Amino acid sequence: MENLTKALKDNDMNEDTAVYLKQVHGDEIYIVNKDNYREIKEKFGDALITNEKGIPLGVFTADCVPIIVIDIKNEVIAVVHSGWKGTHKEILRKTIEKMVKEFNSKTENIYVVLGPAIAFCCFEVGEDVFNKFTYKEKRDGKNYVDLYLENKKQVIDLGISDENIFISNICTKCNNDLFYSYRVNNNTGRIGTFISL
């Protein structure tokens, strides 16, 4: 928690109001405000949305995809934790749809950023997981899935412009000297991805 405190402070984010969840690889989404942020913090879930200033929202990852969503006109933000299970459950699509429904967000004003995660080069999966996805490939008898493109498709299908989608394409497994990777280290730390209005 010492690193989290420092990171929030260095980025002028209020640690006292910061909200993050006990992530469970599901599709539970919470809308956070000044009245409920204390009770939502550390609930079970994988996505957070707010339109209130001074409430940092965060997710923690170590190969899963950390995603930030921003409605630049209505000033609504969201964070999403999307591993293969969350991606399969389309948590990113559901989060954006909730922003549209609850905050009248328009797709032309929405920007999506996908942070460092295990990439297509390294995300080897079993046959059961492989069969759930579209962007996949067999290499040397092994199965690989592209979580970046799977999540991007959810965004494109909602009508958000390709120009509004930013993918880091930084593989956490390849770059384990810079980022935590569960595939490499098993018991490891987490990368914190936070945003605040």
Average pLDDT of the chain, as a whole number: 94
- Looking at per-residue pLDDT, the higher value among 86 and 1 belongs to 86
- Decide the pairing of beta strands 47-50 and 29-31: parallel
Q: Which residues pair with 137 in a beta bridge?
A: 144
Res 18 pLDDT > 70: yes
Minimum mean pLDDT among 30-39, 46-55, 97-106, 176-185: which range? 176-185
CA angle 10, 15, 16 (to 5 degrees): 155
Q: What digits encode the pLDDT tens for the residues 120-170?
A: 999 999 999 999 999 999 999 999 999 999 999 999 999 999 999 999 999
**What's the confidence (pLDDT) of residue 1?**
66
The string of pLDDT tens digits covering residues 34-56 is 999 999 998 999 999 999 999 99
Partner residues linked to 50 by β-bridges:
77
CATH topology classification for 2-119+147-182:
CNF1/YfiH-like putative cysteine hydrolases (3.60.140)
pLDDT of 79 over the 90 cut: yes
Which amino acid appears at position 48 of this protein? L
pLDDT-based confidence at 88, cuts 50/70/90? very high
In this predicted structure, what is the pLDDT of residue 114?
A: 98
